[in-house]
Amino acid sequence: MKHFFFLCLLLISSGAMAQQFSISGKIVDAETQLPLESATLFVEKVQDSSLVSYTISNKAGEFVIEGSGKMDSLRLVGTYNGYDPLTRLIILEQPNIDLGQLKMQVANNMLGEVTVVSQRAPVTIKSDTLEFNAGSFNTRQDANLEEVMKKLPGVEVDAQGNITVNGKPVSRILVNGKEFFGNDPKIATKNLPKEIIDKIQVVDTKTKSEEFTGKAGNPDDKTINVTIKEDKNKGYFARATVGGGTDDRYELSGIGNYFKDDMRLSVLASSNNINSSGFSFDEVFDMMGGRARSVSFNRNGSFSINGNSFGGSGGITKSETAGFNFTNDWDKKYELTADYFFGKNDTETYSVVERETFLPNSTFFTNSESSGNMVNESHRANLAFE
């Protein structure tokens, strides 16, 4: 019986610790009483101002913010371009709270010599862009982009580093509007430090044609654009792998990226004798300029791009790769892209076969040995000007 009562108390307390809430209301202009469409509203914890949930108002100025947590109270903040921020303290005495009509005042910019500095909203919704202020989310001091994303409401990062926003997968990560090592978002999330990040913007993914024509993108696939703080819009980011084992096995690889304003230089190199390319498919693909006339994958784990093979073949393969990719914009009108890639695979094979065949009146023994050596070397270069 004691165990039963303890279980009931535990269930009740657990429900109280993670209570659901719904906060609704209507945002209007204080002077005209007209509704304000697309105002950004969010609730944050009173203790540390960390973001809990957010939404935007509809055409009628109405909004509903839903969420859950262990809070007794929340701070509601409303922002709208040209208006002073609105703040309300919400006591969570019941799950559904209707705030009624909330009035926002037009910002008074005639303040003479008085300067007002307001705290940036942690989240802003502008047209088709969801924008997070990276500095509003508490992380450890040397956190990277992935750790920041794990703090963003509606954003999930799984154990493999795959990202979803409100249940929609993220297929691309841009840095200042440009590709960052091609189609592998993990390179950006693992290497970009929080200290240089200004904003994290989420939009629908668009094809080149949709970007050119201004058409709507795919709402079921998301692109994240990371903007860099103006005073830190330059930097070098690198990843290195060093490994060793028995039988003189080793692996060395390094990948680096330097960018400054509209210029970016990417470099990679690797060497190993463990039948590995040293890089993911996406890293190699992007270093070749993101253009592939032919791509193939093999059952042994190897792959090839434009006739260049990487890892996985039978025997012991020593693989060596090196390449670079350079891109630069001038006056937002011209773009130069250049890349070069070198690959070499040196494969040694050796086999010993001992076979014993049993027949009704006799037994046969067969022994055989074979060895081979195959070397493939390739050079590839591309140059494009738009």
CATH of residue 89's domain is 2.60.40.10
Residues 270 and 349 in one domain: yes
For 163-189, the pLDDT digits (tens) are 998 889 998 888 888 777 556 687 778
Residues 201 and 274 in one domain: no
Residues 225 and 271 in one domain: no
Task: Return the H-helix or E-strand segment holding 9.
Answer: helix 2-17
The pLDDT of residue 278 is 52
What are the beta bridge partners of residue 229? none
What are the beta bridge partners of residue 166? none
DSSP 193: B
For 51-88, the pLDDT digits (tens) are 888 888 999 999 999 988 888 899 999 988 889 999 99
Quick one: what percent of the chain has pLDDT higher than 90? 18
Please check whether residue 365 lies inside any domain of the structure.
Answer: yes
Of 49, 75, 109, the residue that ends a domain is: 109
Cα–Cα dist 89/73, whole Å: 7
Burial level of 154, CB count in 10 A (0-12/13-18/19+)?
A: middle
DSSP 119: P
The pLDDT of residue 14 is 45
Q: Please tell me the total count of domains within the chain.
A: 3
What are the beta bridge partners of residue 89? 75
Of 187, 203, 232, the residue that ends a domain is: 232
Mean pLDDT computed over 196-210: 87
Residues 104 and 150 in one domain: no
Domain extent at residue 295: 234-385
Cα–Cα dist 378/296, whole Å: 16
Residue position matching structure tokens 């940036």: 120
Residues 154 and 197 in one domain: yes
Of 39-48, 98-107, 291-300, the one with minimum mean pLDDT is 291-300
Please check whether residue 331 lies inside any domain of the structure.
Answer: yes
Residues 84 and 148 in one domain: no
Please check whether residue 120 lies inside any domain of the structure.
Answer: no
Please give the single-letter amino acid code of residue 288.
M
